[in-house]
Structure 1
């Protein structure tokens, strides 16, 4: 093929196949190559035709199948063959998804590229666990941060003020340190915390406590990633009324 193909940077949502967008599903249906991550709607890959090349570049804590530079090169190389390439990511590609780096690499190489927004786990997973990130008269905003490193000073200031929800992605490994840092920065140790593990899947579960005790409670429950941590008044149990068992329901 002499013509250059196209790359779609696709947000696949938090994991459940029925939470992918219509536009994302159309991109997948027209793909010659799918470059996929560890998270996201991996079950949908089995519906693709036998002609579709699937390349797994999934990143797990402490282990990367491919560097970001190698992924960028892969997207460009396949597109230059004239192929339609879908870069399938969990959540939204522009929320801690490194989608911007991939768009930049494609444009620098003269490869047409389009972003397909996805439902971010930062928004979807709390909602699926009955945890609203904002609520009139209680909190007026939400701050989304990643938990790979120490939390930014903005998160510490927000926690101390108590007027905004904090959402931490990829933060389970350092949950104890994050909680301690927030308390040390002036947050109320009694601030509610909800940790939603494997949100949107049949294995979803929620662990709740307060900042002073959440690390111990989550550790005792053997909470593992992927999980979304929500800190603030909205994370309190029975916030919206009596709690039912929260399970994921797929929509046929």
Structure 2
């Protein structure tokens, strides 16, 4: 039997055109495609006609394929001698559990390759014209998850308030009130500019410009839901796209 192989591929932030050439080739060569909820559905159309397509997404409040089930699928299909492409939103190694899947494959002796993707944490702010660094304003960026499975691993938000110039928060919508409170208690001004971008780089993209203090209310008022990226820092006031979003950012900067 032919030895199987697994590609762990980052699909990018949402826009199907933002996948890498190498990632697209892995999709086109797959015998089996395991794909997530956040992987652009247009990418699935690039599979071969005979490719077996298996949805393994985790829907908030709905169907969830466990990580253990995903590992078992990867192993069983690869052991059948198939080329398996595991398509994950963003970059598989940034809050994507790609390392867990790679460890499972390595432990079982299954060959694999990890193909990087463009992470939503950097791509989504760029898509709306918000720089994460800006000379004289932001020399540091911290990427952090707002969703920890174990409360003991919850980020130290009070420490982060003083540890970085720009915060980029993945999966932070549900805990925005707690995050805001702790950042404020850590010394970060409630007037610090903030942005929330829902479904970034897609047709459903929605951007809200606000401040740290008004962040939870803005999320509720504008009915922001996951997936969304939150950016907190003075860089929000440095937006370079001259549209209504950027004008709000510059107006806010002028009022500080």
Taking structure 2 as the reference length, the TM-score comes to 0.90
Distance (whole Å) between structure 2 residues aligned to residue 239 and residue 36 of structure 1: 33
Q: Which residue of 2 aligns with 1:172?
A: 173
**What's the CA shift for 1:241?**
6.4
**What's the CA shift for 1:7?**
0.2
Q: Which residue of 1 aligns with 2:252?
A: none
**Preserved contact between residue 195 and residue 207 of structure 1 (Cα < 8 Å):** yes
More helix by share: 2
Q: Which residue of 2 aligns with 1:201?
A: 202
Distance (whole Å) between structure 1 residues aligned to residue 160 and residue 107 of structure 2: 38
Answering whether residue 233 of structure 2 is matched by residue 232 of structure 1, we say yes
**What's the CA shift for 1:109?**
0.8
Matches within 5 A, 1:109-128: 109-128=108-127
**Preserved contact between residue 28 and residue 46 of structure 2 (Cα < 8 Å):** no
Matches within 5 A, 1:91-240: 91-149=90-148, 152-153=155-156, 155-160=157-162, 163-236=164-237, 239-240=239-240
Structure 2: segments with no counterpart, 5+ residues? 247-256
Structure 1: segments with no counterpart, 5+ residues? 247-252
Distance (whole Å) between structure 2 residues aligned to residue 63 and residue 178 of structure 1: 25
The two structures, once aligned, show a CA RMSD in angstroms of 1.7
**Preserved contact between residue 15 and residue 42 of structure 1 (Cα < 8 Å):** no
Q: Which residue of 2 aligns with 1:54?
A: 53
**What's the CA shift for 1:160?**
3.2
SS of corresponding position for 2:45: helix
SS of corresponding position for 2:99: helix
**What's the CA shift for 1:30?**
0.3
**What's the CA shift for 1:244?**
4.7
**Preserved contact between residue 9 and residue 92 of structure 2 (Cα < 8 Å):** yes
SS of corresponding position for 2:189: coil
Distance (whole Å) between structure 2 residues aligned to residue 104 and residue 193 of structure 1: 36
Q: Which residue of 2 aligns with 1:250?
A: none
**Preserved contact between residue 35 and residue 85 of structure 1 (Cα < 8 Å):** yes
**What's the CA shift for 1:180?**
1.2
Aligned residues: 242
SS of corresponding position for 2:216: helix
Q: Which residue of 1 aligns with 2:253?
A: none
Matches within 5 A, 1:76-91: 76-91=75-90
**What's the CA shift for 1:50?**
2.4
**Preserved contact between residue 160 and residue 188 of structure 1 (Cα < 8 Å):** no
Distance (whole Å) between structure 2 residues aligned to residue 70 and residue 212 of structure 1: 41
**What's the CA shift for 1:194?**
0.3
Taking structure 1 as the reference length, the TM-score comes to 0.91
Moved over 4 A (4+): none
**What's the CA shift for 1:48?**
2.1
Distance (whole Å) between structure 2 residues aligned to residue 9 and residue 239 of structure 1: 34
Distance (whole Å) between structure 2 residues aligned to residue 190 and residue 225 of structure 1: 24
Distance (whole Å) between structure 2 residues aligned to residue 65 and residue 239 of structure 1: 37
